Amino acid sequence: MPPPPPRVDVIILGAGLSGLSTAVHLHRAGLAVKILEARDRVGGKTCSREVNGSVCDVGAAWINDSNQSEMYGLARRYGLELIVQNSEGEMICDEGIGRHRKHPYGELRVAEDGSDGEEISEVRRVRDVVEEMCQGIDVRDPVGRYGKENLDLDAITFEEWLEGIGAGEHAKNAMRVGTRALLGVEPGEMSALYFLDYCKSGGGYLQMRGDRKHGGQYLRVKKGTQAFCKGLAGELPDDAVVLMAPVRRIEQVAGAVRVTSARGAYEAERVVVSVPTPLYKEIIWSPPLPADKLEMARSTMLGDYCKSILFYKTPWWRRHGLTGMSQSARGPIGVTRDTSVDADGHYSLTCFLVGQPAREWRLRSPEQREKAVLAQIQQLFGKFAEVDEPIHVEEQIWKDEQWSQGCPCPVFGPGGLTKFGATLRAPMGRIHFVGTETAFEWKGYMEGAVRSGERGAQEVLLALDNAAKL
**Residue 447 in marked binding region:** no
Q: What angle do CA 354, 368, 308 make, to 5 degrees?
A: 40
Count of other CB atoms within 10 angstroms of residue 166 = 11
Amino acid at 265: A
- Listed in sequence order, the residues at least 6 apart from 112 whose beta carbon sits closer than 8 Å to its beta carbon are none
- State whether the Cα torsion 19-22-26-27 is positive or negative: positive
Count of other CB atoms within 10 angstroms of residue 456 = 30
CA distance 384 to 335: 17
CA distance 204 to 367: 38
Helix (H), strand (E) at residue 368: helix 366-381
Pairing of strands 431-433, 264-273: parallel
Helix (H), strand (E) at residue 201: helix 192-201
CA distance 397 to 418: 32
Please tell me whether residue 332 adopts helix, strand or coil conformation.
coil
**Residue 37 in marked binding region:** yes
- State whether the Cα torsion 452-454-460-465 is positive or negative: negative
CA distance 341 to 330: 29
Amino acid at 242: V
CA distance 271 to 268: 7
**Burial environment of residue 130 by CB neighbours within 10 A (0 to 12, 13 to 18, 19 or more):** buried
Amino acid at 432: H
**Residue 75 in marked binding region:** no
Which is nearest to 132 in space by CA: 109, 154, 177, 165? 165
Which is nearest to 207 in space by CA: 336, 86, 93, 67? 67
**Residue 18 in marked binding region:** yes
Binding residues for FAD: 18, 37-38, 247, 437
Binding residues: 18, 37-38, 247, 352, 437
Binding residues for substrate: 352
